[in-house]
Structure 1
Amino acid sequence: MSGYRRGWGGVAGMAVACALAVLGALVPLRDDPASVAAADPGQVTRAHYAATQDTGTCSRPERSLNPALGSTSGAAVARIKARGKLRVGVDQNSFLWGFRDPATGDFAGFDIDIVKAIAKDILGDENAVQYLTVPTVDRISAIQKGTVDMVVRTMTINCERIKDVAFSTAYFTAGQQILTSDNSSITGFNDSLRNKTVCTATGSTGDDKLKAGAHGATVMRVANQLDCLVQLQLGLADAVFTDNALGAGQAAQDPTVHLVGRTVTEEPYGVAMNLADTDLVRRVNQVLNTYRADGSWTASYNHWLAQDLPGIKPPAPLYK
């Protein structure tokens, strides 16, 4: 395991967190990309995709396009090959998932391993990637505007989002949970939050859950989840409400905080793409099938996540 695996604790952890939180809004694509037309397919395409995802009620939004039942080398894949780079929206603030290795400045983490597998399959080179760091709230617009080909950023598949973007099959399942300091009286997502301040990222599923009911807490909203860890460390927030996967990464950075209570949602993560790019969705699903089957998923999980999130298996793909 790399030397930075558990080296970000206490005050040092806060300093790194602050630096990354600032950088998250500033880092452009590594190469200056050629201009690309906006790729929002419009309301008709969005409505059609949402309808084909699930008839009637939306009960399994993680169902995606079967790579065996359509093209995996159409216009979207051809566009990427012609460019010679895969443009991907990622996070550089989520330790273990998508972050900058402080020793090299390169992107690393569980999500980044998936990006590399996709680039390797499409372009023959895992490093043929242009990374763009995108705040949580801007993930969907970056896809619709054609700024990126896809977002791989601990993005939960849900019924509302499938109206606006297409998702791959789920590659991980997490859940919303409370992260707080060791000396806190907060015991979970319950009435122990009353009169406390809870931090979450704008546009996240945690934000949606808090809007539905915050157990008497004051909600602090920030652009990126790591900003919440900074607020907790500074004493400006009493707790963070986030995916337990992200919370585990924050606890790994700072040993004075920990997850409490139980998960209160089910959060299937998927690779998000433009609704018009059906061949790319199928291609990514094909890559993920191989990634699960050949041991790559398990190897990445063991390296990044097993210590903090033990006992998790890759979710089986679901198709429409």
Structure 2
Amino acid sequence: MRKKTFFSYLVLVLAFIGLTGCKTNNVADLDILETSKSSNEIIWGVKNDTRLFGLMDIPSREVKGFDIDIAKAITEKLLGRDGRATFVEVTSKTRIPLLKNGNIDAIIATMTITEERKEQVDFSEVYFDAGQSLLVEKGSPITSVEDLDETTTALVVKGSTSAVNIREASPNARILELENYAEAFTALQAGQGDAMTTDNAILLGMASENSNYELVGGTFTEEPYGIAINKGQENFLDAVNAALREMHEDGTYDEIFDKWFPDDDSGKVD
């Protein structure tokens, strides 16, 4: 009797394995371009705390910025005027895991193209040229990255390339890592650090919030931004790149760029 029960249980287990093996392992394995056309929606991972690129507007409860408008324009190019661009908040730590799990279709979130990240995701063509810089209080003795030493503390965001770069540029400086840009800027204003470092475009947005702070020393890295798309989604990647090229040709890109950066075209991609 016990042998019969065990045999029946084994048959059920094997049948279950066979059935589940026939299903798609992950929603991320689906053809994103086709599923987007079917649902008339593209789900974008964006920042909600980055002024000028992706910042939550409290009165309207809508996230606004350069990245948001670029995503909306790409969505319209791919799906038409009725296509929906849906935005999901990501951080530097969560954006790749959310993409790999299929929770979002693409990342447009001030994400620097690096060789290390290329091992996990594919990138679109560059849509913004950035470079890492320093944000300090006006009158600070720190005027460049060379001024950071063992007596100074630099504030960075966890999981960002900025943390890696500043350790290389100023190996003796103390580094304090925060969860996001808002926390890092708050810490800077509270005196918990002597300088905040990340891409100059992000720091410009912070300096525009508080005139007591300024960027110093120019840029000490090149940080080209790309749209991250999961591996194996070549059709979607090609479509996004085609949309970006069309936006350059018809003036859509310039219009969006000038809206958010009217006084500085250093990050514009020709």
| TM exceeding 0.5 | yes
Structure 2: distance between partners of 1:38 and 1:204:
27
Aligned letter for 1:291? Answer: M
Structure 2: distance between partners of 1:231 and 1:313:
27
Structure 1: distance between partners of 2:145 and 2:237:
35
2:42 corresponds to: 86
2:200 corresponds to: 244
Structure 2: distance between partners of 1:75 and 1:81:
10
Q: CA deviation at 1:239?
A: 0.8
Q: Is the 8 A contact 2:53 2:66 kept in 1?
A: yes
What's the CA shift string for 1:111-168, capped at 9, x where partnerless?
0011101211222237612211111112211111111100000101111111100100
1:228 corresponds to: 184
Give the RMSD, CA atoms, in angstroms: 2.0
Structure 1: distance between partners of 2:64 and 2:267:
21
1:124 corresponds to: 80
Structure 1: distance between partners of 2:144 and 2:236:
40
Structure 2: distance between partners of 1:38 and 1:187:
48
2:89 corresponds to: 133
1:158 corresponds to: 114
* SS of residue paired to 2:69: helix
Report whether the alignment pairs 1:96 with 2:96. Answer: no
Structure 2: distance between partners of 1:196 and 1:257:
17
CA gap 1:108/1:126 in 2 versus in 1, 3 angstroms: farther
2:235 corresponds to: 279
Considering only CA atoms, is the larger Rg found in Structure 1 or Structure 2? Answer: 2
Structure 1: distance between partners of 2:206 and 2:88:
22
The equivalent position to 1:109 in structure 2, one of 65, 74, 96, is 65
Report whether the alignment pairs 1:37 with 2:35. Answer: no
Q: Is the 8 A contact 1:186 1:193 kept in 2?
A: no
2:102 corresponds to: 146
CA gap 1:207/1:281 in 2 versus in 1, 3 angstroms: same
* SS of residue paired to 2:183: helix
| Greater percentage in helix | 2
1:315 corresponds to: 269
Q: CA deviation at 1:225?
A: 2.0
* SS of residue paired to 2:93: helix
TM-score by length of 2: 0.85
Q: Is the 8 A contact 1:39 1:276 kept in 2?
A: no
Name structure 2 gaps, 5 residues minimum. Answer: 1-24
Q: Is the 8 A contact 2:40 2:83 kept in 1?
A: no
1:77 corresponds to: 33
Q: Is the 8 A contact 1:191 1:215 kept in 2?
A: no
Q: Is the 8 A contact 1:99 1:108 kept in 2?
A: yes
Report whether the alignment pairs 1:201 with 2:149. Answer: no
Q: Is the 8 A contact 2:112 2:161 kept in 1?
A: yes
1:178 corresponds to: 134
Identity %: 32
Name structure 1 gaps, 5 residues minimum. Answer: 1-35, 41-73
TM-score by length of 1: 0.73
Structure 2: distance between partners of 1:269 and 1:253:
23
What's the CA shift string for 1:249-301, capped at 9, x where partnerless?
11111111110002111111011010111111000001100111211221112
Q: CA deviation at 1:98?
A: 0.5
Aligned letter for 2:28? Answer: A
Q: Is the 8 A contact 2:257 2:268 kept in 1?
A: no
Structure 2: distance between partners of 1:279 and 1:160:
23
Structure 1: distance between partners of 2:265 and 2:229:
29
Aligned letter for 1:101? Answer: D
CA gap 1:109/1:315 in 2 versus in 1, 3 angstroms: same
* SS of residue paired to 1:137: coil
CA gap 1:253/1:238 in 2 versus in 1, 3 angstroms: same
Structure 2: distance between partners of 1:100 and 1:39:
27
Tell me which stretches of 4 or more aligned residues in structure 1 moved more than 4 Å: none
Q: CA deviation at 1:76?
A: 2.0
What's the CA shift string for 1:156-189, capped at 9, x where partnerless?
1111111100100000101010111113111121
* SS of residue paired to 1:96: coil
CA gap 1:188/1:312 in 2 versus in 1, 3 angstroms: same
Q: CA deviation at 1:38?
A: 4.6
Report whether the alignment pairs 1:300 with 2:231. Answer: no
Structure 2: distance between partners of 1:77 and 1:236:
45
